[in-house]
């Protein structure tokens, strides 16, 4: 193995931040206010596992845990019922994404499930002030492809079928628990929204073309049921906030931004009328839609230079929970008293992140070879000599229909602390930048989507940021696929690659997706390639790293969760087997209690420890000794442990 020179750092290099610190769970997250504004709920650890806690909004010091699960963190959502007595939360098993809905009675501490046991995926369809102790849930117990809707009494747990799914992708319900619209996918990738006709049959209400489908969707009905609110790109490039009068069908544009999609809509608690909407190019920007709230947003904007988040508003509109996101300090939460127009600090998400030598995240815009503008984020290590080309990690986001954003990113901070420049790229297909940007990625997996990543690396080299001989590519899910593409389609470009739950073959991916994803497969034909024809399958095979394994000449590290329902473990296993068949070395890590990513902090730390040693060997960055980072982790080395120095 070629000897790699260590990264040069100044005499004032920052402390080596422990991986256990960087990849710990936050102390408080998913902060939610009760409907009456007197309490908040949030996730916080109990013996190292994130549980549900509740506290009076006026005395956070009296917070108490109301669940004590031991196996795995609760899910990333908390729902307050309008009765103020019950809180709804979610659990899964081993990363299988079969979320089961539970509730806790805050008066009696009674906890009970509201949906069927293991093997069933559930979500909350609707809550309403009109039914304080009831909610609509959807689950796929009857048919794994489709989600039926049930009306549930949260006090007793009794459930009654409201709508059997008749082959639709999903339904849209209103505040009066009426099923108003159904969604169906057309063979050409268009999305059909249907409503009940006079005879009770489903009839077409709106057809959203495949071109608009990724950026156009209904948000919900006004409380009186007369108006439907959309994020809508039809007739424009970026998604606007649109209100539709359901009696006349007329559309009214409430806000639009020619540079970015509106991606979040804040609505008034009682009337469900739009208050404000958020979009983001480099950072989040709010546009106030209701003048009654302008002074509130003006005040909140003055309190911090971070990006504002509204996590909840009480039903009387007087009490809000807001947060500010920064790039080098933890998220800070406040209670905003609207009557007094005063924000009171509550806590930060992760106190251990305070006063650490974190680095700034620099938004940069890079022009791709065909002229598309790519919004990217660059982090540079402290203490690096000015003008010195650094080893760099190209960090590719998953999806691919999601995006990277500005904020405190633990992986950026970790890698920058080890001496690497870190670059995240919103390549074509990333969401939030308009439909033309999304559609520019159609049929471009391992094509122009990969060209964007290469163009970003070339920019970093030309700008003197990156050493062209020491660039790694790393990512999860689609990002893992991109890492595999990097080594198989451009084998000399990257010094090494890290793939976590990445796709190795696009055809086998489509053949093994969850049953409940299948109603959306026609849209995937438009985006990825037509898996239903011989010509289309051949195209997908040509864009699959598995079929170019013999091109790999650089080191590869692969991680996989056994219970991944999106990218099955077979995706990693087949490329590892193919590499071994060709005599190509590879390191393969396996986690028997994880799914699509690493949920347990012990597993995140162990994976980071291996990645860090791997990058140090091939890029020359700083490396913290393994220490106890394998403790309590379920990490298994299937092959290639001996390929990475320093693992013990």
Q: What is the DSSP letter of 644?
A: S
Q: Are residues 474 and 620 in the same domain?
A: yes
Write down the pLDDT at residue 198: 87
Q: Are residues 375 and 523 in the same domain?
A: no
532-548 pLDDT per residue, tens: 999 999 999 999 999 99
Q: How far is CA 442 from CA 322, 400, 420, 429, 439, in A?
A: 37, 11, 32, 8, 5
> Residue 538 sits in which domain range?
516-543
How confident is the model over 179-194, as a mean pLDDT? Answer: 95
pLDDT at 511 over 90: yes
Q: Give the angle 211-212-216 at the CA atoms, nearest 5°.
A: 160
Q: What is the DSSP string of 11-55?
A: TTPPP---HHHHTSPPSSEEEEE-TTSSEEEEEEEETTEEEEEEE
Percent of the chain with pLDDT over 70: 98
Q: Are residues 403 and 470 in the same domain?
A: yes
Could you give the 3-state DSSP secondary structure of residue 515?
helix
Q: Are residues 378 and 458 in the same domain?
A: yes
- Asked whether residue 8 is domain-assigned, the answer is no
How confident is the model over 611-633, as a mean pLDDT? Answer: 96
Q: Are residues 445 and 464 in the same domain?
A: yes
Could you give the 3-state DSSP secondary structure of residue 601?
helix
Q: Are residues 473 and 618 in the same domain?
A: yes
Take residue 498 and report the two structure tokens written for it. Answer: 């890290």
Lowest mean pLDDT among 104-108, 179-183, 186-190, 362-366: 186-190
Q: Are residues 465 and 501 in the same domain?
A: yes
Taking alpha carbons only, the member of 124, 128, 81, 84 closest to residue 224 is 128
407-429 pLDDT per residue, tens: 999 999 999 999 999 999 999 99
Contacts of 155 (CB under 8 A, 6+ apart): 86, 105, 133
Confidence of residue 521 (pLDDT cuts 50, 70, 90): confident
Taking alpha carbons only, the member of 388, 354, 378, 328 closest to residue 10 is 388
Find the farthest-apart pair of alpha carbons in the chain and give their distance in angstroms, rounded: 79
CATH number at residue 423: 3.40.50.1820
Distance (Å, whole) CA 45 – CA 50: 4
Catalytic sites, residue numbers:
477, 564, 596
- Asked whether residue 601 is domain-assigned, the answer is yes
- Asked whether residue 499 is domain-assigned, the answer is yes
Taking alpha carbons only, the member of 377, 374, 451 closest to residue 416 is 377
Take residue 206 and report the two structure tokens written for it. Answer: 């709106």
Q: Are residues 437 and 537 in the same domain?
A: no
Q: Are residues 399 and 499 in the same domain?
A: yes
- Asked whether residue 522 is domain-assigned, the answer is yes
Task: Work out how many domains the chain is built from and give that number.
Answer: 2
Indicate the length of the chain as a whole number. 648
Look at phi and psi of residue 157 and say left if phi exceeds 0, alpha if psi is from -120 to 50, else beta: left
- Asked whether residue 238 is domain-assigned, the answer is no
- Asked whether residue 374 is domain-assigned, the answer is yes
Q: Measure the CA dihedral 514/518/521/522, to 10°.
A: 180
Confidence of residue 1 (pLDDT cuts 50, 70, 90): very low
- Asked whether residue 571 is domain-assigned, the answer is no
Q: Are residues 403 and 475 in the same domain?
A: yes
259-306 pLDDT per residue, tens: 999 999 999 999 999 999 999 999 999 999 999 999 999 999 999 999
548-603 pLDDT per residue, tens: 999 999 999 999 999 999 999 999 999 999 999 999 999 999 999 999 999 999 99
- Asked whether residue 209 is domain-assigned, the answer is no
Q: Are residues 432 and 464 in the same domain?
A: yes
Distance (Å, whole) CA 475 – CA 481: 8
Q: Are residues 469 and 607 in the same domain?
A: yes
Take residue 196 and report the two structure tokens written for it. Answer: 């009940």
109-164 pLDDT per residue, tens: 999 999 999 899 999 999 999 999 999 999 999 999 999 999 999 999 999 999 99
Confidence of residue 518 (pLDDT cuts 50, 70, 90): confident
């Amino acid at each position: 193995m070629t000897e790699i020179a260590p990264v040069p750092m100044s005499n004032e290099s920052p402390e080596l931040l422990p991986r256990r610190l960087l990849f710990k769970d936050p102390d408080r997250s998913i902060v939610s206010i009760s409907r009456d504004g007197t309490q908040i709920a949030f996730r916080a650890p109990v013996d190292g596992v994130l549980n549900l806690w509740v506290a009076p909004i006026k005395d956070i010091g009296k917070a108490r845990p109301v669940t004590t699960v031991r196996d795995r963190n609760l899910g990333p959502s908390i729902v307050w019922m309008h009765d103020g007595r019950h809180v709804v939360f979610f659990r899964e098993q081993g990363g299988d994404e079969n979320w089961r809905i539970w509730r806790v009675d805050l008066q009696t501490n009674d906890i009970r499930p509201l949906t069927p046991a293991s093997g069933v995926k559930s979500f909350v369809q609707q809550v309403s002030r009109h039914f304080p102790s009831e909610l609509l849930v959807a689950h796929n117990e009857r048919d794994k492809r489709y989600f039926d809707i049930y009306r549930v009494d949260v006090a007793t747990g009794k459930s009654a079928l409201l709508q059997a799914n008749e082959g639709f992708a999903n339904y849209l319900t209103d505040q009066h628990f009426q099923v108003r619209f159904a969604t169906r996918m057309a063979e050409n990738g268009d999305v059909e929204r249907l409503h009940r006709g006079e005879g009770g049959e489903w009839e077409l209400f709106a057809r959203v073309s495949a071109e608009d489908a990724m950026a156009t969707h209904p948000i919900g009905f006004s409380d009186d049921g007369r108006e439907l609110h959309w994020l809508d790109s039809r007739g424009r490039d970026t998604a606007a906030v649109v209100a539709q009068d359901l009696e006349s069908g007329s559309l009214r544009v409430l806000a639009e931004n020619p540079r970015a999609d509106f991606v979040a809509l804040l609505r008034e608690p009682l009337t469900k009328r739009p208050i404000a909407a958020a979009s983001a190019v480099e950072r989040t920007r709010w546009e106030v839609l209701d003048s009654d709230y302008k002074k509130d947003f003006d005040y909140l904007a003055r309190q911090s230079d971070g990006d504002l988040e509204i996590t909840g508003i009480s039903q009387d509109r007087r009490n809000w929970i807001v947060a500010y996101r920064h790039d080098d300090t933890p998220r800070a939460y406040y209670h905003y008293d609207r009557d007094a127009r005063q924000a009171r600090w509550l806590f930060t998400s992760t106190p251990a992140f305070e006063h650490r030598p974190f680095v700034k995240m620099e938004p940069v815009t890079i022009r791709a070879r065909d002229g598309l503008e790519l919004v990217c984020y660059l982090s540079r290590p402290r203490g690096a000599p000015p003008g010195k080309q650094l080893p760099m990690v190209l960090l590719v986001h998953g999806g691919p229909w999601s995006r990277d954003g500005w904020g405190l990113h633990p992986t950026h901070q970790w890698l920058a602390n080890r001496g690497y420049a870190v670059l995240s790229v919103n390549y074509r297909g990333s969401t939030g930048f308009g439909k033309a940007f999304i559609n520019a990625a159609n049929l471009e997996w391992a094509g122009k989507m990969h060209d964007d990543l290469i163009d970003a690396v070339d920019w970093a080299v030309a700008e003197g940021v990156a050493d062209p001989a020491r660039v790694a590519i790393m990512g999860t899910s689609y990002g893992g696929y991109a890492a595999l593409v990097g080594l198989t389609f451009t084998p000399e470009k990257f010094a090494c690659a890290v793939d976590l739950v990445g796709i190795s073959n696009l055809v086998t991916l489509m053949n093994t997706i969850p049953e409940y994803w299948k109603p959306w497969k026609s849209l995937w034909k438009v985006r990825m390639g037509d898996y239903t024809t011989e010509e289309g399958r051949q195209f997908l095979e040509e864009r699959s790293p598995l079929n170019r394994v013999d091109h790999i000449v650089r080191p590869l590290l692969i991680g996989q969760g056994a219970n991944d329902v999106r990218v099955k473990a077979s995706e990693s296993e087949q490329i590892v087997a193919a590499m071994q068949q060709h005599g190509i070395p590879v390191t393969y890590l396996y986690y028997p209690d994880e799914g699509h990513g690493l949920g347990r902090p012990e597993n995140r730390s162990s994976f980071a420890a291996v990645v860090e040693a791997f990058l140090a060997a091939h890029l020359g960055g700083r490396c913290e000794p393994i220490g106890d980072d394998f403790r309590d982790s379920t990490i298994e080395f299937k092959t290639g442990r001996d390929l990475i120095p320093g693992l013990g």
